[in-house]
Chain A
């Protein structure tokens, strides 16, 4: 069956450290992969998109890697802050030009001061 797995339901780290979240998938060949941030009771907010032919993307303190051989994406937040605490979702785009998104369950990140 088709699956998207985010490595852990929850991740606790200390402020200033780098948070690394993992997204693994099986039986998909996505055209691109996206990461979103979701705060409690709110809709997801788009963070980064990485295409299948890209290895790495950066945006300020965020970095995303995409390994289509391993079928894995890593999402890094460097110099983490308590304000980074949220649930982070990975989403795969399938379905050609329609590009419907399939979401993982998310990883809840808590950054302690």
Chain B
């Protein structure tokens, strides 16, 4: 199937700093990418939908000024957690649709573990 990568796989930062997470579709072009957050033993929660060349659509309750999303190309979307706090510590996962395989299927990246001290 299609391959989606994320970088970094894990990051530890100090409270108040900003962290950028990259999501890349390696063998296909993704006009739409999704960012999820998953807390331990909880379900994946959709944070935002990232559309190439336009502003991201955020889910209710997700602060767009805190979680900055940029989808500058058809293979790259970035999520920046600004002024991170310990409560932002979580597992962040991106996904993308591969238009070759039908629009329903999302391919997920391996996730980024963020720990804010």
Q: How many residues of A contact B (CB 8 A)?
A: 24
Distance (whole angstroms) from the CB of A89 to the closest CB of chain B:
7
Residues of B within 8 A of A49 (CB): 104-105
A32 and B104 form a contact (CB under 8 A)? yes
In the complex, number of A-B residue pairs with CB atoms less than 8 Å apart = 53
- A34 adjacent to chain B (CB < 8 Å): yes
Q: Which of B34, B43, B107, B111 contacts A46 (CB 8 A)?
A: B107
Those of A93-113 within 8 Å (CB) of chain B: 93, 97-106
Residues of A within 8 A of B95 (CB): 43
A98 and B42 form a contact (CB under 8 A)? no
B44 and A103 form a contact (CB under 8 A)? yes
A34 and B43 form a contact (CB under 8 A)? no
Closest partner residue, chain A, to B4 (CB atom): A43
Give the interface SS of chain A, mostly helix, strand, loop or mixed.
strand
B103 and A44 form a contact (CB under 8 A)? no
Distance (whole angstroms) from the CB of A28 to the closest CB of chain B:
14
Those of B91-108 within 8 Å (CB) of chain A: 91, 93, 95, 103-108
- A79 adjacent to chain B (CB < 8 Å): no
B108 and A103 form a contact (CB under 8 A)? no
A43 and B49 form a contact (CB under 8 A)? no
Q: How far is the CA of A103 from the CA of B43 in the complex (A)?
A: 6
Which 9 residue pairs spanning A and B have beta carbons closest together?
A43-B108, A103-B43, A103-B44, A105-B43, A43-B111, A43-B93, A44-B108, A43-B110, A43-B109
